[in-house]
Homo-oligomer: A and B are copies of this chain.
Amino acid sequence: MSDPSALFAPERVAVVGASEERGSVGRAITTGLRDEFDGEVVPVNPNHETVLGQPCVDGLAEAEAVDLAVVVVPPAAVLDVVREAGETGVGSVVVITAGFAEAGGEGATRERELRAVAAEYDLNLVGPNSLGLISTPVGLNASFGPGDVLPGGFSFMSQSGAFVTAVIDRARDQGVGFRHIVSLGNEAVLDERDFVEAWGEGETSVILGYLEGIDDGQAFIETAREVSRETPIVLVKSGRTEAGARAASSHTGSIAGSDRAYEAGLDQAGVLRTETAEELFDVARALDGLPVPASGEVAVVTNAGGPGVMATDATDDSDLELASFADGTIDALRETLPETANVYNPVDVIGDAPAERFDKALEIVLDDPNVGTALVLAAPTNVLDFGALGERIVERRTASDLPIAACLMGGASMEPARERLNTAGMPTYFDPSRAIRSLEACWRYREVRDRKYVAPAEFDVDRERVREELERASRETNRVGVEAMELFDAYGIPTPDGEVVEEPAEAVGVAQDIDGEVVMKVVSPGIQHKSDIGGVRVGVPNEAVYDTYEDLVSRARNYQPDATILGVQVQETIDPDAGTETIVGMNRDPQFGPVVLFGLGGIFVEVLEDVSVRVAPVTEPEARSMIDELDAAPVLRGARGRDPIDETAVVETIQRLSQLVTEFPTILELDVNPLVATPEGCVAIDLAATIDPGEL
C-alpha cells in the first residue's frame, strides 16, 4: 500500500531530467536539492556525466537505493521513467512535467496510462503538472517555486501551483514556517485525501489547503472526520460562487459541484473553511499557537475605549460573545484598577496603563469561570513598554489553559511586543476583527474536536417493496409522482390515509374509510401539472367521490389522450393551516453524492433560499441541526403564538429519507413537497422524483 508520508522523508532523491541549462526546471530542482537536502541527490540524464558538479547517471536503473524520483523529462518520456521507477523499487515519484489531462486530448490518454503504471507498481505519485514538494525536517526542496521555506508545524497542500508560490513568498516575510508543502498538480494518483490522512498521522500541527475541487466527497468526509479530531484542517475551497465555480471549471477542467454541497460536506468533515488567503493564515496561526477556548465567552482587556467597541462589534458578529463577569471579578478589577477604568467587559485599563496593569487585569479575568478566552487589545501610548507587555502576555498564556489573542493596534512602536509574542508562537493582529475571527476559529475547532460522531440510524424498512415500486415506475417513465407514495410507507415516512385506486367504486370504498372530505388527484406520470388541468379536487364529500373519479379521468384523457392513467388517488384532507409546510429534498452532487435539503415551503425555499443542506447519510444530530440553521426556524418553534411543531418527527423523517436515497442510487432526485409539520407529527403530502432505471 502506498504511503504518502514516505514522500517527505527520502534518503536518496533522483532528479530525472537534471540539467545545467539556465532557467530550466531541471536546473532549478537540482540546485534546490543540492543546497539544503540532508540526504543524497542523484542527477539522472543520459546526456551528461555530471550536473552542477554532481555525478550523473543515465537512468534510474543505475541509481542505487533511490527512494524518491523527481521527474522533469518531456511529457512523452514520463511514462517510461515512471515505469523504470516502479521496476527499480523507487517507491515515490513526483511528476513535475505538464502536458497531461490539463492539456486535453493526447495528454488525457497519457494521464490514464500514468495512473495505470502507478497502480501496477503501487507508487506514491504526486502530479503530474505539479510544482513539486517541500519537506523542511529533511531540508528537501523538490520544487521549482521560491525556496527558503522556514521550518514550522503547518503542512500545506494546494491544487494551484501559483497559490503555493504566493504562500511561500509571503510566509517567509511573516516568519511563518512549514513542515511539508505539496503542489497537488493533476492528482493522477495521490489527492487531497491522501495528504490529509498522512499528515493526520504525523507531527503536523495544522493541515492547510487550497482546493478547487474534491474528487470523492464521501471518502474525503470519512478521512477528514477522523483526522480533524486530532489535527485541525483549514481550507480555502475556491469557486464558492457561481462565477467562481465557472472560472475554476475552465481552469481545471473539473465539473463543479454545488457550493452548498461543499459547504455541508466540509463542515460534516470537521474542516474549518476560510474565504481568503489572509484568513487561512490568521486562523492557522491561532490554532497552532493557542489552546482551544474553554467556552465561547471572551474577555477583552484594552487601554482604549474606541478599539474596545470595535472588538465588541466583531465579537457580536461572530459565534463568540462577550463574557459576563462574575461579581468577584468585577470587585477585584475595581480594587486593582484606577477609578476611571471600566471594570465591565470590555475592561478598559485606560490610556496611562503600564504593562503591569494590563497583566493584573488579565490575571483577574482569566480566573473568572465565565471566561473561555481573552483578547488583549493595545493602542500605542507613551507610557506602555511593549516589550514588557509582550512578555507579560506570554507568561499569562503559559500559566493558563485559555487562549489569549493579542491585537496590537499600531505600527513600528509595537514591534517589541509583536516579536516577543510571535517568538512564543502566539499570533498578533492589527485589526480587532481579525483577532476575534481567529479566536472564533479556535472555538469552532473545539466544537469539531468535541463532536461525537453518531452513526446514521438504520431504520427497519421494506427495501423489497421500494425496489418493486421503482421497477414498476421506471418501466413507464423516469419521473414519478404521488403514485409512488408507497416509497414513503415502505420507509416509515408518514403519509395521509388513502390509496391509489383504479375504479370509481373502489374510490368510494376508500373515501368511506377516511374521516371527513377527501382530496382526489388523477395519477398519471405523464401529466406534470395536474392542478392546471383540473386533475386535483379538494374537499370532496363521500357522495361526490364516484362522479369526481370519472370527471378527473376524463379531464386527463381530454388533456393528453396518450397519457397512461394509473388511476386516482383518494387521500385524507390535511388542513394546511393546522401545520407548517416544509420541504425535504435530495439531489445527487457529482462530488458528494446524495445531498439532503430542508426548508420551509414556498417562498422560503424559492425566494429567500432559506435552506439547510447535509451530505447523506444524515445522522440524527445533523438532521436536528438542519432545523436550527434555518433563519425561519422560529416559525417552526412557536413564533407568533403558534404551537411548536414536533421536531423529533421531522428529524426522523429527514433521516429516513436520507436512508432511502442512500440505499437506492437509482433515485436521482426526490422532493417531499410539502411535508406538513404539526405539533403532533408530520406527514408527507406529495412526492416528485427522478429515477435512473439503469441503477436499479
Contact = CB atoms under 8 A, between A and B. Distances in A.
Interface of A: 23, 28, 103, 144-146, 158-163, 165-166, 169-174, 210, 212, 236, 238-244, 246-248, 250-252, 275-278, 303-310, 312-317, 321-322, 340, 342, 344, 346, 348, 351, 379-383, 409-414, 430-434, 602-603, 606-608, 610, 631-632, 634-635, 639-640
Contacts of A212: 306, 309
Contacts of A159: 306
Contacts of A160: 304-307, 309
Contacts of A239: 309, 312-313
A318 to B, nearest CB: 10
A382 B28 CA distance: 10
B639 A241 contact: no
Contact of A158 (B174, B246, B306, B314): B306
Nearest to A252: B305
A181 B248 CA distance: 45
A275 B433 contact: yes
Nearest to A340: B103
A244 B382 contact: no
Contacts of A344: 250
A383 B145 CA distance: 11
7 contacts: A158-B306, A160-B304, A212-B306, A212-B309, A251-B309, A276-B431, A608-B610
A250 B341 CA distance: 11
- Counting from the closest, the 4 A-B pairs by CB-CB distance are A160-B306, A162-B304, A241-B316, A244-B313
Contacts of A640: 602-603, 606-607
Contacts of A28: 382
A247 B379 contact: no
A162 B430 contact: no
A163 B379 contact: yes
Contact of A247 (B166, B248, B309): B309
A344 B250 CA distance: 9
A307 B169 CA distance: 14
Contacts of A144: 382
A243 B320 CA distance: 12
A25 B294 CA distance: 42
B635 A250 contact: no
Given A313-B241, A342-B250, A639 B603 contact: yes
A161 B313 contact: no
B276 A166 contact: no
Contacts of A413: 146, 169
Contact of A308 (B247, B431, B632): B247
B606 A277 contact: no
B170 A410 contact: yes
Contacts of A432: 276-277
A314 to B, nearest CB: 8
**Max chain B CB contacts within 10 Å: which of A244, A252, A606?**
A244
A639 to B, nearest CB: 5
Given A146-B413, A238-B306, A607-B631, 9 more contacts: A159-B306, A162-B303, A162-B351, A163-B304, A165-B380, A170-B411, A243-B316, A275-B313, A275-B433
B305 A162 contact: yes
A598 B277 CA distance: 38
